[in-house]
Amino acid sequence: MFLQILWRSLQNRKGRVAIAILAVAMGAAMVFALGSLSLDMNDKISRELRDYGANIVVVPPVGGAGSAVEPLLPESVVPALKNSEAAPYILGAIPYLYGIAEIGNQKVVLAGTDFSQVQKSSPWWKVQGSWPTVGTNQSIVGVKAATALNLTVGASYSVRQKDKAGTFTVAGIVTTGGVEDNQIFADLPMAQSLLGHPGQVSQVQVSAQTGKQPVTALATAIEQSVPAAKVKVVKQIAQAEGQTLGKIEWLMVLVTVIILGASAIAVMSTMTTTVLERTKEIGLMKAIGAETSSIGKLFWTEAVCIALLGGLVGSVIGFGVAQLIGKTVFQTAISFRPFVLPVSLAISAIVTLLASFVPVRAATAVVPAITLRGE
């Protein structure tokens, strides 16, 4: 009997039930979408931020990075990074060897590097021309250095360093907005030979993904695997990354709370209207012997049905929204997290039941005698 009454109640109010389900679905969709995004967001945003520079620098244990002569690091530091505990989180490791050289009568900073790693870890470098071919004498010249030395793409120039000299060809002119604009970049082995430091580097710039591991923990893991070096965290980048992730998470929470609040108001409005429309029906049910608890049970069950249906529909929509955001913003799919579904359903149920509290209480407070007299 109870199930028949419940079914007819829902069936006779299809329009209002549909509105309530839609309201719950909106909230559930946001919970599911933002829940799925938040679980993948840290990794994906951390990977996106790595395009704007390294967050860890490996330098010699004494002195400082960028020293023209001493101290230096063995080039074996780079493969050692791949064997460290932080290896799964390292997206790129760029070795650099710096030295002062002369072009004509002007001194310039010559930097030897691995161009394949630079292209991978520093996509923000704007190169006019092309990237050098590995193992050749092709080079990249900073835009300010190119202006000062009157160099253009395709030009050849001689570089001297003490008693050694080499000839390079300009493959491209780079603009970064940083110190790189004043430097000349050559293939690492060529620079090592010219500067007289075979098998050595000045520093290694590491781009590490910090979505699952804090950058300080990754720096510690690298330092343990490379005891001959000192590992520094680029604090400005690390702090900016942490602040960005924190602000986005709070924004997502705020948006979810607002939408859940709107859903609760919509459900409360729908349930209140339903109680007002069924006041005489409730009074008649009580008059023929229905207990107050049975009336409450009927409305609470309706609320649960609305919550579950809305939660399921909203979860499906939410997963689609998460995929859309993932493809649009991060150019990748968002992973399906099974435990997000019960969380979404639970939150939908809680919001719906809280929103139904006042209307159900009003329904159970109906007085049969007064209602049936039409007062």
Q: Give the pLDDT confidence of 106-137 residue by residue, as tens digits.
A: 999 999 999 988 988 888 889 999 999 888 89
Q: Is residue 267 part of a domain?
A: yes
Q: Does residue 184 share a domain with residue 150?
A: yes
Buried b (16+ CB within 10 A) or exposed e, 48-62: ebbeebbbbbbbbee
Average pLDDT over residues 138-144: 95
Q: 198 and 285 share a domain?
A: no
**What is the number of domains present in the chain?**
2
Q: What is the mean pLDDT of the chain?
A: 81
Q: How confident is the model at residue 48 (pLDDT cuts 50, 70, 90)?
A: low
Residues 93 and 167 in one domain: yes
| Domain assignment present for 218 | yes
Q: Is residue 238 part of a domain?
A: no
Closest to 52 measured CA to CA, from 205, 275, 260, 174: 205
168-226 pLDDT tens trace: 999 999 998 888 999 999 999 999 999 999 999 999 998 887 766 777 888 888 888 88
Which one has a higher pLDDT value, 329 or 33?
33
Structural contact between residues 228 and 73, judged by C-beta atoms closer than 8 angstroms: yes
| pTM of the predicted structure, to 2 decimals | 0.59
Question: In the chain, what is the straight-line distance between the N-terminal and C-terminal CA atoms, in Å?
Answer: 29
Residues 337 and 191 in one domain: no
Q: Which pLDDT band holds residue 357 (cuts at 50, 70, 90)?
A: confident
Q: Which domain holds residue 278?
A: 2-47+243-367
